[in-house]
């Protein structure tokens, strides 16, 4: 019973962690592409 309970509890935690990792990855990509744009604009000026 306790093993089943642990599995039931771990599934939402895994989904939650996966969502956070995905969001963090997207934010980092957005920030890095924004940085590249800034560097390009500075180089052009």
Task: Provide the whole-model pTM.
Answer: 0.58
Q: How confident is the model at residue 27 (pLDDT cuts 50, 70, 90)?
A: very high
Separation CA 45–CA 39 (nearest Å): 10
- Residue spans of the domains in the chain: they are 16-40
Q: For 16, how many CA atoms within 13 A lie in the half-sphere containing its CB?
A: 5
Assess whether pLDDT exceeds 80 at residue 28. yes
How far apart, in Å, do the first and last CA atoms of the chain sit? 67
The pLDDT of residue 8 is above 90: no
């Amino acid at each position: 019973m306790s093993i089943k309970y642990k599995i039931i509890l771990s599934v939402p935690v895994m989904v939650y962690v996966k969502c956070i990792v995905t969001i963090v990855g997207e934010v980092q990509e957005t920030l890095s592409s924004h940085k590249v744009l800034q560097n390009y604009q500075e180089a052009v000026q």
